Amino acid sequence: MTAEHASQQQERLRGLEAGTSLEPLASGRVSRRRRFWREVRRNWFALVGAIYLVIVTLAAVAAPIVATHPPNEQRLLGRLERPSREHWLGTDELGRDEFSRLVYGARISLFIGLIGTAGALCLGTLIGLASGFFGGWTDILLMRLIDIMYAFPGILLAILIVAVMGPGLSNLIIALTIWGTPTLSRIVRSSVLSLKAQEYVEAAHAMGASRSRIIFRHLLPNCMAPIIVYATLGVAGALLTAAGLGFLGLGVQPPTAEWGAMLSVGRGYLREGPHLMIFPGLMIFLTVISLNLIGDALRDALDPYLR
Residues forming beta bridges with residue 97, ordered by sequence position: 91
Q: What is the pLDDT of residue 23?
A: 45
Position 107 scores a pLDDT of: 92
Give the Cβ contact number of residue 39 at 10 Å. Answer: 18
Question: How far apart are the C-alpha atoms of 165 and 157, rounded to whole Å?
Answer: 12
Tell whether omega for the bond before 182 is within 30 degrees of 0, i.e. cis: no
Predicted confidence (pLDDT) per residue in 100-119, tens digit? 999 999 999 999 999 999 99
pLDDT in tens, 86-95: 999 999 999 9
pLDDT tops 70 at residue 133: yes
Give residue 6's pLDDT.
Answer: 46
pLDDT number for residue 37? 67
Q: pTM of the full predicted structure? A: 0.81
Tens-place pLDDT, residues 200-212: 888 887 888 888 8
Residue 149 predicted with pLDDT over 90: no
| pLDDT recorded at residue 31 | 62
pLDDT above 90 coverage of the chain, percent: 39
More confident residue, 197 or 279: 279
**Mean pLDDT value across residues 224-244:** 88
| Alpha carbon distance 240, 137 (integer Å) | 36
**Model confidence band, residue 198 (pLDDT cutoffs 50, 70, 90):** confident
What is the model's pLDDT at position 98? 94
CA dist., res. 140 & res. 131, Å (int)? 8
For the chain, where are the alpha helices, taking DSSP H only? 3-17, 25-42, 44-61, 63-66, 98-134, 136-150, 154-165, 169-195, 199-206, 211-213, 220-222, 224-247, 259-266, 275-302
**The pLDDT value given to residue 156:** 83
Q: What mean pLDDT do residues 128-152 have? A: 90
Q: Mean pLDDT, the chain, as a whole number?
A: 84
Work out the number of other CB atoms within 10 angstroms of the CB of residue 307. Answer: 10
Question: Could you give all domains of the chain from N- to C-terminal order, each with its CATH number?
Answer: 62-72+85-302 (1.10.3720.10)
Can you give the pLDDT at residue 20? Answer: 42
Model confidence at 282, pLDDT cuts 50, 70, 90, reads very high
